[in-house]
Amino acid sequence: MSKVLYIKANIKPEGQSRTFKVSDEFVEEYKKNNPNDEVITLDLYKENIDFLRPEDLEKLFSPKDEESKNHPKLKYAYQFAQADKYIIAAPMWNLSIPAILKAYIDYVSVSGITFKYTAQGPVGLLNNKKAVHIVSRGGDYNNSPYEMGDKYLKTILGFFGITNMKTIALDNTDTGVVDINEIIENGKKQAKEIASKF
């Protein structure tokens, strides 16, 4: 049985988010194919994820023990490390990811939990796991030098040892060039296909 972390990072509510229309379809298909797996939904806005404060740093960098697992900030790093698969639903904002997702990544980027330092340099501790990033983007950012969100997620997850990451991108959602319903339907088809083997 696998533990799946469904990370949602969009201020738009259910039914309005184009990203969530596709990511929810992905989750539904995944559950159909893996009924015994545990899917944990983590809506970052509902969690009230905030930026790290000076008083948080001591705990993040101190030795990890049983007590640290219940710390309001460290609990997210432990939860992240315990998952086997990750579904990240986050639209492109200003060429990158929403700030709340970056704040969350700051919570989970903790030495001794998701990576460690060695004499040879940093080493990821989350090997042999997989992730999918589902993203809606206003223009065509496929292979664009301006696209930094998907690139960042691939880089930071790779830093943790998660090198198996796929992307489902809904491009041109704000250009009016392609019918938005067609974009979403194509995204749902791709989501179902990837979810069936995820």
Domain map (residue ranges) of the chain: 3-195
Q: Could you give the maximum distance between any two Cα atoms of the chain, in Å?
A: 54
pLDDT for the residue numbered 176: 80
> Averaged in consecutive runs of 10 residues, what is the pLDDT profile of the chain (198 residues)?
96 88 97 97 94 82 76 90 98 96 96 94 96 95 93 98 97 86 94 96
pLDDT for the residue numbered 10: 94
Question: Hey, what amino acid is at 133?
Answer: H
Domain 3-195 in CATH 3.40.50.360? The answer is: yes
pLDDT for the residue numbered 63: 74
DSSP line for 68-118: GGGSTTHHHHHHHHH-SEEEEE---BTTB--HHHHHHHHHH--BTTTEEEE
pLDDT for the residue numbered 67: 75
Angle between helices 180-195 and 18-33 (to 10 degrees): 30
What's the predicted TM-score (pTM) here? 0.94
CA angle in degrees (0–180, nearest 5) for 101-8-85: 95
Instruction: Answer yes or no: are the C-beta atoms of 29 and 191 closer than 8 Å.
Output: yes
pLDDT for the residue numbered 13: 79
